[in-house]
Amino acid sequence: MKIVILGNGISGITAARYIRKRSDYDITVISDETDHFFSRTALMYIYMGHMRFRDTQPYESWFWEKNRIQLLRARIERIDFSSKKLFTTQGEAIDYDKLVLSLGSKSNKFGWPGQDLEGVHGLYSFQDLEAMERHSPGLQQAVVVGGGLIGVEMAEMFHSRGISVSFLVRESDFWNNILPPEESAMVSRHLKEHHIDLQLETELKEIVPDSSGQKCGAVITGKGDRIDCGFVGLTVGVSPNIGFVQKSELETNRGILVNEFLETNLPDVYAIGDCAELRQPRPGRRPIEAIWYTGRMMGETVAHTITGHRTAYDPGIWFNSAKFFDIEYQVYGDIRAQLPEGHSTVYWEHPDGKRSIRLTYETSSGRIAGFNLMGVRYRHEVCEKWLRQGTHIEQVLQKLGLANFDPEFHPQHEKDLVATYNRQTGKNLTLQQKRGLPAVLRFLQHG
């Protein structure tokens, strides 16, 4: 059987690896972005000089031949699903028995005048990184549009080379449609402390060309202000990269529609990763989740189905992590910008304004619902176990030291959070001083 995987990101490569583990099928991975799979989340570290491109490749070059995974650098312009053939821009036809579409995302554009000028790019692909490198020599001023995680990465990248950055954010505080108010304000303060020109409640109106008429020369904001610049970063989210299949027999909406087994409406065709849109997502989850770990899970899941063990996709408990310059961010479970009805929260923030811990829980039952961490690292396995079991908030608080990732090397703040809860509730809880790896392992094994 011949398996063709279109896309060499985390979801496509994971699918290839697990299909190989479970079968002797022929596997071909096609991509026009790069020759080899690389860690997309590490693009910023290449630009900042922390890593070389080859350091971002998780597998040595011999890995692919050893595991009989054929890599093909090509651009596919058309798929004939009835005859099971893909056609490259060079006219080559590639047959398949089963096809996995792992097409990834593309940076959003919303029809701004000048959005297609030279020097206007997102930050998703390796080619976007090359564009940033190409425009950086001599660059004095960049403008980043959009208040999300990719925008912060781009701002930090330019900042690392001494390039001034104006950051246009539509909301009244950074990412306040995702982060609760205190954490959102913390990130806004932190960006300004790093001399980022954070312009809140400001939208892009148009991008103005320079004297050549080909390159960006300035932006005009919705307030009518002009900011001269040599680069504009469009980081207002991403959307599924499905343009060339939208007019085919494949059923699409925002993404390629799939069922719980990641199967499309066409036989022997699957979609995974950023381009897949679940027809019926699990409760509390979105139809499209352009997150590294969900792409990896989809890749492993579809490999089971293709190799004869039909398996439903289960994304598990929501989590995410990122970095806002010096502040690490982790979220586990259900944390929303506005506290849902029937939920309560306990929140502690360090006096330095750069570290915080938030726990949310169901008010009536006390079941833990979510963890939100800024500048503090908690163990994924411990938080996930509490969330899966619906552990009572007070049991979590008393054993919170188990969650701390670095108890030997960093200050502990769990006592402060417990004290905050006691003040809020009138209780007199105490923190049980169980921490360190042996205690964590005992907890994970026995509870």
Judge whether residue 147 has pLDDT over 90.
Answer: no
Give, in order, the Cα–Cα distances in Å from 318 to each of 26, 173, 284, 302, 370.
Answer: 34, 24, 9, 20, 9
Burial class of residue 29 (count of CB atoms within 10 Å of its CB; 0-12, 13-18, 19+):
buried
Domain membership of residue 314 (yes or no) is no
pLDDT score at 408: 55
- Residue pair 396/402 in contact (Cβ under 8 Å)? The answer is no
**pLDDT digits over 228-274, tens only?**
999 999 999 999 999 999 989 999 999 999 999 999 999 999 999 99
Domain membership of residue 34 (yes or no) is yes
- Nearest 5°: phi and psi at 243? -50, -45
Strands (E), 242-366: 256-258, 269-271, 276-278, 319-324, 327-333, 343-349, 356-362
In angstroms, the CA 25 to CA 2 distance is 6
Question: H-type helices in 178-244, by residue range?
Answer: 181-193
On average, the pLDDT of the chain sits at 94
Domain membership of residue 147 (yes or no) is yes
Judge whether residue 444 has pLDDT over 80.
Answer: no
pLDDT score at 439: 73
327 and 441 together in one domain: yes
- Mean pLDDT in residue range 291-319: 96
47 and 99 together in one domain: yes
> CB-hemisphere CA count at 13 Å for 312?
8
Name the helix (H) or strand (E) containing 27: strand 26-31
Beta bridge partners of 86: 79, 94
pLDDT score at 180: 97
Give, in order, the Cα–Cα distances in Å from 398 to each of 36, 318, 380, 421, 434.
Answer: 47, 23, 18, 11, 9
Confidence of residue 432 (pLDDT cuts 50, 70, 90): confident
Domain membership of residue 112 (yes or no) is no
- Residue pair 377/328 in contact (Cβ under 8 Å)? The answer is yes
State the CATH number of the domain containing residue 15.
3.50.50.60
Out of 174, 207, 236, pick the residue that ends a domain: 236
Out of 306, 334, 363, pick the residue that ends a domain: 306
324 and 302 together in one domain: no
12 and 91 together in one domain: yes
Please give the full DSSP string across 311-327, using - where no structure is assigned. Answer: ------S-EEEEEETTE
56 and 199 together in one domain: no
pLDDT score at 404: 87
Beta bridge partners of 227: 219
Domain count, the chain: 3
Confidence of residue 407 (pLDDT cuts 50, 70, 90): low
60 and 124 together in one domain: no
State the CATH number of the domain containing residue 330.
3.30.390.30
In angstroms, the CA 311 to CA 288 distance is 19
Full-model pTM: 0.92
Judge whether residue 341 has pLDDT over 60.
Answer: yes
Q: Kindly report the CA angle at 334 between 333 and 336, in degrees rounded to 5? A: 140
Task: Give the tokens for residue 394.
Answer: 């007070």
261 and 204 together in one domain: no
pLDDT score at 258: 98
Which 3 state secondary structure label does DSSP give 69?
strand
276 and 364 together in one domain: no
Domain membership of residue 111 (yes or no) is no
96 and 14 together in one domain: yes
Out of 208, 236, 264, pick the residue that ends a domain: 236
43 and 9 together in one domain: yes
Give me the domain span that covers residue 256: 2-105+239-306
Which one, of 90, 87, 93, 69, lies nearest residue 5 by Cα?
A: 69
- Residue pair 239/108 in contact (Cβ under 8 Å)? The answer is yes
pLDDT score at 438: 65
290 and 339 together in one domain: no
- Mean pLDDT in residue range 386-413: 87
